[in-house]
Amino acid sequence: MTSAGLRERKKAATRAAIGVAAWRLAVERGPDRVRVEDIAEEAGVSRRTFHNYFATKEEAMASMALDRAERICAALLARPAQEPLADALGQLFVAEYATRNVPDESLRAAVRRAASNPGMMGAVERAMLATEAPLAQAIADRTGTDASRDLYPNLAAAAAVSALRATIEFWLNASGTPPSLRDMLARAIAETVPAAPSRPTVKEAQDGA
């Protein structure tokens, strides 16, 4: 591995460590009781290093959403080409957002505590919106469409992210004990993400003209 590649891996690892530390402290203490200094100490970095990666603590707390999106995009391209897109996305989103390692009620309580901070939720909202473009590109690569010329990959990405947001919001605010987040999220994406077009795409039509 080249020195440049090693540096990039170290930078990515440092960014991830800060993001995980920020989220963990927000869950344990509540976002308002966490300072940048606390996050830096938890991650084993200086305050200056923290600010090399994030402008605010809320941005750091929300960074896991962007990291999840990167993993989803990479994993999507590695899945079998014949697998329906909605099935593939359902499994990938469930794997990232509804882990079996944390009971639903514990996860629900943790996310509720984090959601009590408007600044943090604004950062999470921006992070979710920022995932649409790279996801659309990954869908385009998988389906042979062009995200700059075809509506489909953009529509499918927006549908998946919207299904995620709506499911989590419902799950957080539902009275009583809601259904399993895993089951709800898989179903929401399956029912929302449109199938790949069977007719020629705009790209194919223009290329064939």
pLDDT digits (tens, 9 = 90+) for 151-202: 999 999 999 999 998 998 888 888 877 788 888 999 999 999 998 877 545 5
Q: Residue 153: its pLDDT value, please?
A: 96
Q: At what angle do helices 3-29 and 104-115 cross, to 10 degrees?
A: 90
Q: To which residue do tokens 């943790």 refer?
A: 110
User: For residues 64 and 127, what is the distance between their CA atoms, to the nearest angstrom?
Assistant: 9
Q: What sign has the CA pseudo-torsion 84, 150, 152, 68?
A: positive
- Which numeric CATH code is attached to 3-197? 1.10.357.10
Task: Sketch the domain layout of the chain as residue ranges.
Answer: 3-197
The pLDDT score that the predictor gives to residue 148 is 94
Mean pLDDT over 19-31 rounds to 82
pLDDT tens, 138-151? Answer: 999 999 999 999 99
Most confident segment among 55-69, 124-138, 154-168: 154-168
pLDDT at position 18: 95
DSSP 135-193: HHHHHHHHHT--TTT-HHHHHHHHHHHHHHHHHHHHHHH-SS-PPPHHHHHHHHHHHHS
pLDDT in tens, 83-120: 999 999 999 999 988 765 555 677 777 777 777 777 66
Q: What is the pLDDT of residue 168?
A: 86
pLDDT value of residue 163: 95
